[in-house]
């Protein structure tokens, strides 16, 4: 991590070394890491209570679900008790797993007190999002105890909430401290650890999408954040290691997002696809598969699209640029077709985006060629991506998460509507290629149908 070492003066830094730091970055911004403590050593959960006691708090509110409380919540509670801190608990159901939505917030609202208590979030994605959203809205703070190396949002300052079936990102509070105890998260179910590896695979397409927009649209781009994500992901993708190595990588990614203030360094078209599958499953009355599982499979599809555009269509870039007249987004009629019962909610969310134009530029052959070169470091052959998911023990094919080839085709056209964030999906729509290439990728998926399926 050349830039990190240069900015901090620390050789071989660890995530904990960035806690509380302010870094003057080559991107021109001053990045702040407001996390006061980032504990990653074994037994770290025992420091939760002493940390809160040192802050002068004698009562706290612990939020978990039944599974995560059993995994680490009881230990966090015991640490507080020994430090003289009284713990109030809200334990959400473990089955079915809760979502970060109005229902869960409504349940938590019954336990709100007039004077907001500091929060302890014990869990992974859902519990963390609920706690950071509540902390931001009530003017308090929270600390977190991760129970699985399954996602990269433990440091996040935004909360991804389900509102009327639409996944919307809200401003939220970053944690005041993180107590990532390997004695806890290393015991997470195998599928959650595999989900963390699949999540790391998605960092490549996220970085490719960011570079793509930086080149074509002049979008802000931070070399430090890119380095943090790249250097965290590469070793893991080459050799999936221990849960502790995975967790450290996920924390580095989270710090990159925290420093730039958005999830841009770690979330692109692969996440938009995963969110569409989640929303669709919910409105169809099905429980969606895990976030990391969806991201891993979506990443393979997005790498297919990069391959189609910048390999198979590379000699046509000048022609494609000359005739590009399309919009990056779909029409209202298309959105209503793709999003069915949640279309009104999505259109309302889109109305808050303002202009959806991406840069005052026409597409040019030179620009597309520069983009092709810029994204090359983050390209991975689909076969290599599939092999990584297999080694990590994660699902590899859409049929494993009940996504048909027909739904793949729809998804690749629809998913660009989820966020006001330029990706390969938006570019392909501008070039008039998205429908055609979504059919090509769906056709490839059709050859990977479930064994015995017609």
Residues 6+ apart with CB under 8 A from 381: 303, 307
Quick one: average pLDDT of 215-232? 96
Q: Residue 315 phi/psi, 5° resolution?
A: -80, 0
Please tell me the predicted confidence (pLDDT) of residue 160.
85
- For the record, the structure tokens of 147 come out as 């129970």
Hey, which bits of 112-253 come out as E strands? 119-123, 142-146, 158-163, 166-171, 177-179
Exposure string (b/e) for 424-454, b if CB count within 10 Å is 16 or more? bbbbbbbbebbeebbebbbebbbeeeeeeee
| DSSP sequence for 281-324 | HHHTT-PPPPHHHHHHHHHHHHHHHHHIIIIITGGGHHHHHHH-
| DSSP sequence for 359-387 | SS----HHHHHHHHHHHGGG---HHHHHH
Please tell me the predicted confidence (pLDDT) of residue 324.
87
Residue 423, pLDDT above cutoff 80: yes
Among the listed residues 200, 198, 212, the one whose alpha carbon sits nearest the alpha carbon of residue 292: 198
Asked if 204 and 266 touch (Cβ cutoff 8 Å), the reply is no
User: pLDDT band for position 92 (50/70/90)?
Assistant: very high
Residue 66, pLDDT above cutoff 60: yes
Domains 34-188 and 197-446 share a fold: no
Q: Tens digits of per-residue pLDDT, 378-402?
A: 999 999 999 999 999 999 999 999 9
Quick one: average pLDDT of 404-422? 96
Residue 141, pLDDT above cutoff 70: yes
Residues 6+ apart with CB under 8 A from 40: 14, 15, 16, 180, 182, 244, 247, 248, 251
Quick one: average pLDDT of 135-163? 93
Q: Tokens 């479930």, residue?
A: 450
CA 235, 238, 239 angle in degrees (round to 5)? 85
Residue 360, pLDDT above cutoff 70: no
Q: What residue spans define the domains of the chain? A: 34-188, 197-446
Residues 6+ apart with CB under 8 A from 300: 382, 385, 386, 389, 396
Residue 167, pLDDT above cutoff 90: no
- For the record, the structure tokens of 383 come out as 């076969």
User: pLDDT band for position 440 (50/70/90)?
Assistant: very high
Q: State which CATH number among 1.20.1090.10, 3.40.30.10, 3.40.50.620, 1.20.140.10 fits the domain covering 197-446.
A: 1.20.1090.10
User: pLDDT band for position 203 (50/70/90)?
Assistant: very high
Residues 6+ apart with CB under 8 A from 155: 35, 174, 175, 178, 251, 254, 255, 257, 258
Among the listed residues 182, 207, 87, the one whose alpha carbon sits nearest the alpha carbon of residue 143: 87
Helix and strand tally (H, E) in the chain? 20, 10
% the chain with pLDDT above 70: 97
- For the record, the structure tokens of 381 come out as 């052959």
3-class DSSP state of 238: helix
| DSSP sequence for 181-197 | -HHHHTTS-HHHHHHHH
Please tell me the predicted confidence (pLDDT) of residue 454.
46
| Helix (H) / strand (E) containing 61 | strand 59-65
Mean pLDDT score of the chain: 93
Question: Minimum mean pLDDT among 3-7, 94-98, 148-152, 218-222: which range?
Answer: 94-98
Q: Tens digits of per-residue pLDDT, 11-42?
A: 999 999 999 999 999 999 999 999 999 999 99
**Taking the model in full, what pTM does it have?**
0.93
Please tell me the predicted confidence (pLDDT) of residue 214.
96
Sign (positive/negative) of CA torsion 121, 127, 128, 131? negative
Residue 243 exposed, middle or buried by CB count within 10 Å (0-12, 13-18, 19+): buried
β 177-179/166-171 pair status: unpaired
Q: Tens digits of per-residue pLDDT, 305-346?
A: 999 999 999 999 999 999 887 788 999 999 999 999 999 999
Domain with residues 34-188, CATH architecture: 3-Layer(aba) Sandwich (3.40)
Which comes out higher in pLDDT, residue 250 or 445? 250
């Amino acid at each position: 991590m050349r830039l990190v070492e240069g900015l901090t003066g620390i050789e071989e830094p660890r995530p904990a070394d960035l806690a509380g730091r302010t870094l003057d970055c080559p991107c021109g911004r001053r990045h702040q890491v407001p996390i006061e403590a980032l504990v990653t050593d074994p037994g770290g959960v025992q420091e939760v209570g002493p940390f809160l006691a040192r802050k002068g708090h004698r009562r706290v509110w612990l939020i978990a679900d039944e599974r995560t409380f059993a995994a680490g919540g009881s230990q966090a509670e015991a640490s507080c008790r020994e430090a003289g801190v009284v713990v109030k608990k809200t334990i959400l159901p473990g089955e079915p797993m809760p979502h970060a939505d109005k229902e869960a917030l409504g349940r938590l609202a019954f336990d709100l007190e007039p004077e907001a208590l500091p929060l302890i979030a014990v869990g992974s994605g859902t519990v963390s999002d609920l706690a950071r959203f509540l902390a931001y809205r009530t003017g308090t703070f929270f600390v977190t105890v991760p129970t699985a190396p399954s996602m990269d949002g433990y440091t996040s300052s935004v909360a991804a909430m389900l509102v009327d079936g639409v996944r919307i990102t809200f401003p939220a509070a970053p944690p005041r401290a993180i107590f990532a105890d390997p004695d806890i998260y290393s015991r997470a179910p195998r599928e959650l650890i595999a989900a963390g590896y699949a999540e790391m695979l998605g960092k490549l397409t996220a970085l490719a999408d960011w570079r793509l927009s930086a080149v074509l649209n002049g979008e802000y781009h931070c070399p430090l954040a890119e380095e943090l994500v790249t250097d965290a992901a590469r070793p893991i993708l080459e050799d999936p290691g221990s849960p502790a190595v995975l967790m450290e990588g996920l924390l580095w990614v989270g710090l990159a997002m925290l420093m730039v203030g958005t999830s841009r360094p770690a979330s692109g078209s692969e996440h938009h696809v995963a969110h569409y599958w989640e929303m669709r499953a919910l409105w169809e009355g099905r429980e969606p598969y895990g976030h990391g599982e969806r991201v891993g499979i979506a990443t393979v599809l997005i790498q297919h699209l990069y391959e189609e555009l910048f390999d198979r269509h590379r000699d046509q870039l000048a022609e494609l640029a000359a005739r590009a007249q399309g919009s990056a987004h779909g029409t209202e009629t298309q959105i209503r077709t793709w999003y069915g019962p949640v279309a009104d909610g999505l259109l309302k969310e889109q109305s808050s985006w303002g202009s959806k134009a991406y840069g005052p530029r026409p597409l040019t052959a030179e620009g597309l060629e520069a983009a092709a070169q810029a994204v090359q470091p983050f390209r991975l052959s689909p076969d290599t991506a599939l092999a990584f998911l297999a080694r990590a023990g994660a699902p590899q094919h859409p049929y494993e998460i009940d996504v048909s080839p027909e739904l793949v085709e729809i998804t690749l056209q629809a998913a660009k509507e989820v966020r006001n964030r330029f990706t390969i999906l938006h570019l392909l729509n501008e070039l008039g290629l998205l429908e055609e290439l979504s059919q090509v990728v769906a056709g490839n998926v059709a050859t990977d149908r479930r064994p015995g399926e017609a």
